Amino acid sequence: MSTPGPDQSRQLLDGVRAHTQAAIDAELGRLHLTLDWCHLHETHDEDDAAVFSDHGIPLAGPGAPMVSEFAVMELGAALAMSTDSAKRYVGAVLEIRFRLPRIWARVETGELGFWKARWIAEHTKCLPMAGAAYVDQQVAYCAHKVSYAEVERQIATAMARFDPEQAEKLRRQAADGRKLDVHKDDLSLEGTIEVSGTLDAQDALDFDAAINRLAADRKAAGSSEPLDVRRAQAAGDLARGQNMLPFGDDEDGEGGFETGLRPSSTTEAPAVIKVTRVIDLHVHEAGVFGDPNATVGRCGRRPVLVETIREWCGAPGTTVINLKPVRDLADHVHVAAYEHPARLIEQDDLVDHHCVFPWCTRPAERCDHDHVTPYNKGGPTCSCNSAPLCRGHHRLKTHGRWSYDVLDRGNYLWHSPHGHTYRRDHTGTEPVVRQRP
């Protein structure tokens, strides 16, 4: 197979970008025609056309106009969509145009693809007008590159802040929906059974920590099984009350050390497994002191109702609260060694959250920590020369002729082998378009 030259590769990539832009332009034309059609058939009363068995239907959230149902049906036929699909499409268009004006402006300029704006709109329809405006303000400037997970976090925050009654209702429903299912009727030929469930966050984290500990004990005892297999085996050990003996503590009858699993005696009280875990909770002082308007905190990066945090912190005998000072992410960490110290790794994780390669969403805590300028080429081990890269993108940067520069802390400029440039920051990735001569 012949190897394509750099000019041919660059032409192909430029062609892909040109066709992508043409598709954006075509979608914009369809959006404007759809809005014109909706304006022509807008109604202000659900019974406007009742005499003809037609009526206005609300397709977006509060504040967006209603449109004649028959008109939507006819539009759907022209769009080659089913009526239900047309209603969802028109609802998203109206939601963006009338309730998410900042996002609509980004769509009109071609900076934000309608497919991404539509996904946001479908998740804001349930919000009151103030909640939709909050999401619009929080994500519009970076909607073209922000992750779906971040949009979901902002929508959850808006729900808690602007519709607290609904948020509390959903919280109680979630608590009532906790379950753990062992699908005994679906025993496979190989002898495995699926287990699924929804647990309280504290219970789930404790369970995960206990499983991880028992899986690690199995590895220390000589197991060569993969981690996932050892975790599955550990669930059985936990269910049977079995626990690994700590090495070096108890001797067997022959002077050696007992290894492996020891079943709990049926006459003894079950052993209590002590689990140590850390949850980073962020609560504004107003929420700590009972301000009714401070309803949302954070667990890591995800919004959590303050009431839920109160319940976690008030659980008797299960929670130890450690207060730490606010970390200064602008602090410059520097060491005269190749290995990244723990404080630099923690700082990287808190600044970037993910692998910093374009569009990668691998969590930073599961990444390598890269020297942007290689250590063997004089790059220091410090805050200004360190960033998280997942293993695959670390290899790509080292061996695949990709490179990147640190513009400032958490802000990176990537260069591909074929001359394309991408800017990556905490909000996501955007291509840097080359100016044509």
- pLDDT (average), residues 120-136: 91
Contacts with 121 (C-beta within 8 Å, 6 or more apart), sequence order? 60, 91, 92, 95, 96, 99, 100, 103
Count of residues for the chain? 437
Say what the pLDDT of residue 47 is: 53
Does 152 share its domain with 250? no
Span of 84-98, 155-169, 262-276, 417-431 with lowest mean pLDDT: 262-276
Q: What is the mean pLDDT of residues 6-11?
A: 81
Each residue of 284-312: pLDDT tens digit? 666 555 666 667 776 666 677 777 777 76
User: Do 74 and 118 fall into the same domain?
Assistant: yes
Same domain as 123, residue 93: yes
* Alpha-carbon distances of 403 from 77, 102, 316, 417, 419, rounded to whole Å: 49, 34, 52, 8, 11
Residue 162, pLDDT score = 80
- Do 157 and 196 fall within a single domain? no
Q: Which pLDDT does position 59 carry in this prediction?
A: 92
Rounded CA-CA distance 224/356 in Å is 33
pLDDT digits (tens, 9 = 90+) for 92-116: 999 999 999 999 999 999 888 899 8
Task: Identify the sign of the CA torsion 152, 158, 161, 162.
Answer: negative
- Asked if the structure places residue 325 within a domain, the reply is no
Residue 327 lies in a domain: no
Q: Answer yes or no: are the C-beta atoms of 369 and 340 closer than 8 Å.
A: yes
| CA nearest neighbour of 211 among 244, 234, 182 | 234
Q: Which domain holds residue 309?
A: 281-313
Q: Percentage of residues in the chain with pLDDT exceeding 70?
A: 77
257, 286: one domain: no
pLDDT-derived band at 178, boundaries 50, 70, 90: confident
Question: Residue 144: pLDDT above 60?
Answer: yes
User: Which has more confidence, 141 or 95?
Assistant: 95
Q: Does the pLDDT of residue 268 top 60, yes or no? A: no
Range of weakest confidence among 101-105, 328-332, 388-392: 328-332
> Which of these ranges, 9-18, 188-197, 255-264, 375-384, has the smallest mean pLDDT?
255-264
Based on the fold, state whether residues 302 and 355 are members of the same structural domain.
no
CB-CB neighbours of 344 under 10 Å: 19
Q: How many separate helices (H) and strands (E) can be counted in the chain?
A: 14, 18
List strands edge to edge, sheet with 66-68.
Answer: 42-43, 66-68, 56-57
pTM for the predicted model, two decimal places: 0.55
DSSP state of 338: S
Residue 341 lies inside a defined structural domain of this protein: yes
Does some domain include residue 295?
yes
Please count the structural domains in the chain: 4
Amino acid at 423: R
Q: How confident is the model at residue 383 (pLDDT cuts 50, 70, 90)?
A: very high
Q: Is residue 101 part of a domain?
A: yes
Q: Are residues 148 and 27 in the same domain?
A: yes
SS3 content of the chain, % helix, strand, coil (to 5): 45, 15, 40
State residue 405 phi and psi, 5-degree precision. -120, 150
Q: Average pLDDT, stretch 158-176? A: 75
The C-alpha atoms of residue 294 and residue 309 are separated, in whole angstroms, by 12
Q: Is residue 304 part of a domain?
A: yes
Residue 143 gets which letter from DSSP? Answer: T
288 and 258 in one domain? Answer: no
| Spatial distance between the Cα atoms of 6 and 205, rounded to a whole number of angstroms | 50
Whether 167 is in a domain gets the answer no
- 27-79 confidence digits (pLDDT tens): 999 999 999 999 999 987 655 444 456 788 899 999 999 998 888 888 888 88
User: Are 357 and 415 in a shared domain?
Assistant: yes
303 touches 149 (CB < 8 A): no
Banded pLDDT at 389 (limits 50, 70, 90): very high
The angle at the Cα of 350, spanning 348 to 352, to the nearest 5 degrees, equals: 65
Residues 154 and 254 in one domain: no
Residues 38 and 156 in one domain: yes
**Sequence-separated (6 or more) residues with CB below 8 Å from residue 190:** none
- Give residues with Cβ within 8 angstroms of 66, minimum separation 6: 42, 43, 44, 46, 56, 57, 58, 59
> Which alpha helices (DSSP H) does 221-357 contain, by range?
227-239, 285-288, 306-313, 342-352
Query: Are residues 307 and 347 located together in one domain of the fold?
Result: no
Last residue of a domain, one of 116, 146, 162: 162
Predicted pLDDT of residue 2 = 60
Residue 267 has pLDDT above 50, yes or no: no
Mean pLDDT, the chain, integer: 80
Q: What residue has token string 């704006």?
A: 117
- Hunting for tokens 């499409």 — which residue is that? 89
Which residues, listed in sequence order, are joined to residue 43 by a DSSP beta bridge?
66
Tell whether the model's pLDDT for residue 360 goes beyond 70: yes
Please state, in angstroms and rounded to a whole number, the distance separating the CA atoms of residues 400 and 11.
Answer: 20
- Domain membership of residue 56 (yes or no) is yes
